Amino acid sequence: MKILNFGSCNIDYVYRLHHIAAPGETQKSDDLQTFAGGKGLNQSVAIAKAGGRVCHAGCIGTDGDMLLHTLQENAVDTALLQRMPQKNGHAMIQVSETGENAIIVYPGTNAMIREDYVDAVLSDFSKGDILVLQNEINCLSYILSCAHQRGMTVILNPSPIQDALRSLDFHKISYMVLNEIEAVALFGGDDAQSSAAIAAEQYPNLRIVLTLGENGSVYREGSVVWHQNAFRVKAVDTTAAGDTFMGYFVAGLAKGQPIPEILRLASAAAAMAVSKEGAAPSIPYLHDVECAVDTMEEAAVRVDDIAVMRQKLEKYVSEHLKDVTLKGLAKHFNYSYFSAPGLIKKCTGLGFTPYVQSVRMARAAKLLRESDLAVAEIIEQVGYQNDSFFRRKFKEAYGKTPAQYRKKH
């Protein structure tokens, strides 16, 4: 399976300001930096850093040497890039002190793609290969139709939102990765979730991935819905957050990873990206994400969330007393098998096994007080198979045998 990203390459001029300039307002910038960027380039770099092998197609201008170098130094295949005798596309990016951004894009050579060039590029790709698209180049409809005819899996990031997107045949798209603003604009719901539901009804084969900032991300495929919590970090520059998520999502699909794991790594990578300046330079490598994600998950549970999370843990364990496992619990809460023990410890003060045992003992004590069930039935209901083991643990917890405890209560 090959990955082709047919996308933009921009030179990003990043201006740091106290706040995003309002209409009619003039502000002095505290700093100006120049980066290689563009949604296409950023996503190719993200795919490569996430462990995917990606070929980038598109047009760069006479001033595009920095862009070519950035792609190549990040192991992106640039053999299909086309050099044009015009100025490259560029973006003017305002970044506020809180890390928010506003972007103006000049398309330049990104709008000079021709159909004969598209035909030449796609001739090397076939059924099962992945095509990644954004909305910063021209000829999108033609590229999409040709890729669909070849049986390629098309993943579209419909950004920026423009009327031209509505002319695309969404039935030819396999996955769409978009934020709340984009979802509402394209599908007309009141919010991201309702817009995704409308999309699922109108396009049954379209899989939707919503990126919702501090509210995490959501994957929707028909009636199947997966949610991934956001990782909380101090935002320095949010420019590459969406592109980083997109790149890691594409690479995960190409490697055949389960959707929950793809969302987990993509979300962690995006969080790490916003903690650094720049677009492509801020995108982390897969090894760094894998090393950091477990710690990030534990840190994501804020102090004011702990009580709520403790209640959720107790509810889940209570409902699965007979068959609760660490693997099942981790899957239910969208945590990895390795980070789940830290989450439980943070919320309850106990490891997985002691915590489950404490919930089982509390349920057994309640049944002894409030029911006439035989002790053997209670033992079975709370998930123990060994009678003597249960009795020993109960006495350790309550200082009495089950019979003595029932008699006193």
**343 in Cβ contact with 335 (< 8 Å):** yes
- 125 contacts 4 by C-beta, under 8 angstroms: yes
Question: If you compute the radius of gyration of the chain from its CA atoms, what whole number of angstroms results?
Answer: 26
Q: Which listed residue (243, 288, 304, 323) is catalytic?
A: 243
**In the structure encoding, which two tokens stand for residue 93, read together?**
């990016």
The alpha carbon dihedral of 334, 335, 340, 346 has a sign of: negative
Check: CB of residue 273 under 8 Å from CB of residue 283: yes
Q: How many CB atoms lie within 10 A of CB 306?
A: 14
SS3 227: strand
- Judged on CB neighbours under 10 Å (0-12, 13-18, 19+), 20 is middle
- Token readout for 324 is 């609760």
Q: How far apart are CA 111 and CA 7, in angstroms?
A: 10
8 Å CB contact between 360 and 384 = yes
- First-to-last alpha carbon distance for the chain, in angstroms, is 66
Say how far residue 24 (Cα) sits from the centre of its chain: 36
- Alpha-carbon span 322 to 382, nearest angstrom: 6
**Residue 243 is a catalytic residue:** yes
Which residues are within 8 A (CB) of 390 and not within 5 positions of it... i.e. 6 or more apart?
364, 379, 382, 384
How many Cβ atoms are within 10 Å of 398's Cβ, its own excluded? 18
Provide the sign of the torsion angle of the four alpha carbons 388, 393, 394, 399, taken in this order. Answer: positive
User: What b/e sequence results for 105-144 when a residue is b if at least 16 CB atoms lie within 10 Å of its CB, and e otherwise?
Assistant: bebbbbebbeeebbeebbeebeeebbbbbbbbbbbbeebb
User: Which among 155, 201, 159, 167 is positioned nearest to 183, based on CA atoms?
Assistant: 159
Positions annotated as catalytic residues are: 243
